[in-house]
Amino acid sequence: MSNAAPYIATPLRRLAAGVVDLLLCFGVSIFGWGIVVSASNVSSFVEVLLLNKVPFLVYAGYHALCLWLFHGQTPGLYFLNIRIVRASGGGELSIAQAVLRSSFRPLLIYLFGWAAVTAQSSFGPVASVAAVPVLVELGMMFTLVTRQTLSDIVSKTLVVNLPPPQPHRAPAAPMYSPTDAEFGVRPQRK
């Protein structure tokens, strides 16, 4: 097998696509549904987000639907010409892979954040503990040769560059010759 490095998307393109998608789905979750958690015993905005499950569910649902319906692309991935494919063979994602890849990261962040909120006196700021999975995934994306994150490894996927569009080229010569039988017998004058 040839080297796959030129086809694997760069970390900066992936981050830019992630920012676009994050803004879209968190904007929908916060402005669409609002924050539904009472803030009486919460000390920071991060804790409000962690106690409110809607942004995490919207993030997972947004990515799962986009990956499945748009053949491995979200709007952010589409605008940066990258796509998520199966690691083995490079085919389209199955529904199970799309759901697993989409829900793994928000679930991991939510669980780390929830653990930090419940044991707040031991660990310190909640944001630092909830950021651990994100930092691990960023480290993996920047250091591994395959640029895979935890979500990619668990769901067996790769993020690849799409090929550039090819220009249409007209044929240099007529597409048939007088002896071609493909178009039937040429009419003859009698």
- Per-residue pLDDT of 122-175, as tens digits, reads 555 666 677 788 888 889 999 998 899 999 999 999 999 988 777 777 666 656
61: Cβ contacts below 8 Å, ≥ 6 apart: 102
Distance in angstroms (rounded) separating the CA atoms of residues 163 and 83: 10
Q: Which of helix, strand or coil describes residue 73?
A: coil
pTM for the full predicted model: 0.70
Q: Which of helix, strand or coil describes residue 145?
A: coil
CA distances 93 to 23, 54, 63, 96, 97, Å, are 24, 25, 12, 8, 6
Distance in angstroms (rounded) separating the CA atoms of residues 125 and 45: 12
Q: Which of helix, strand or coil describes residue 140?
A: helix
CB 19, CB 171: distance < 8 Å:
no
Closest CA to 72 of 87, 82, 80: 82
**Which residues partner with 160 through β-bridges?**
8, 83
Both structure tokens of 23: 């803004």
Over the stretch 64-88, which tens digit does the pLDDT of each residue have? 999 999 988 999 999 999 999 998 8
If you average pLDDT over each of 43-47, 66-70, 115-119, which comes out highest? 66-70
